[in-house]
Amino acid sequence: MAIWLTAVIRKVATGSVPSLLRISAVVLTVQTAVVLATGELWLFLLQFPLANLCMCVLFARTAGGPNPLVARLAAEVVALRQPATPHPGLHRFFQRATWLWAGIFLLLTAGLAVLMVTEPAKMFLMLSTAATVALAVAGTVASTLWFFSVLRRLGVRLRFAPA
């Protein structure tokens, strides 16, 4: 409830809701619905692969379009502003990076689904946490290195605006 309240307040105060907040709200809503709808442990654990599947769909849905989710997140999380006319090379990077993250979340979905049916709950929670952290860190490092490589290849300089 708190996350939806935050989204509403943000929408009223600024006229927009950051993508990261929207993603968090969807994931937490799916998780809460699963928890409230069941008393079964395996259905509770199902929220983990389901949440990752939702993330996969959210990223994939925007990957090929004019406003890929990774570009929006870069703008919202690290205040990376893009020119009014998008640079084709950077736009292509953001589309491909969005596909990368859709793939990461799809891999997590499949991996967690397998762990859920093969491991006891305690081991599943430990392994799912480790897998999620490892893939998130690997994806972040890969995306960052890839981004700087694309900037260098395109001859685009990154400047930070004064505070």
- What local confidence, expressed as pLDDT, does residue 161 receive? 63
Distance (Å, whole) CA 86 – CA 89: 9
14 occurs within a structural domain: no
140 occurs within a structural domain: yes
82 occurs within a structural domain: yes
* Residues whose CB falls within 8 Å of the CB of residue 149, separated by 6 or more in sequence, listed in order: none
DSSP reduced 3-state for 41: helix
* Residues whose CB falls within 8 Å of the CB of residue 143, separated by 6 or more in sequence, listed in order: 70, 97, 100, 101
Task: Look up the domain containing 109 and give its range.
Answer: 39-154
46 occurs within a structural domain: yes
58 occurs within a structural domain: yes
State both tokens at 116: 């859920």
161 occurs within a structural domain: no
- What local confidence, expressed as pLDDT, does residue 162 receive? 65
Q: What is the pLDDT along the chain (163 residues), one digit of tens a residue?
A: 788 898 899 899 989 888 878 888 887 887 778 777 877 777 778 888 988 999 999 999 999 999 999 998 888 777 777 777 778 899 999 999 999 999 999 999 999 999 999 999 899 999 999 999 999 999 999 999 999 999 999 998 877 666 5
Distance (Å, whole) CA 43 – CA 160: 46
- What local confidence, expressed as pLDDT, does residue 163 receive? 58
71 occurs within a structural domain: yes
pTM for the predicted model, two decimal places: 0.77
Phi, psi (degrees; rounded to nearest 5) at 88: -55, -40
Q: Count structural domains, the chain.
A: 1
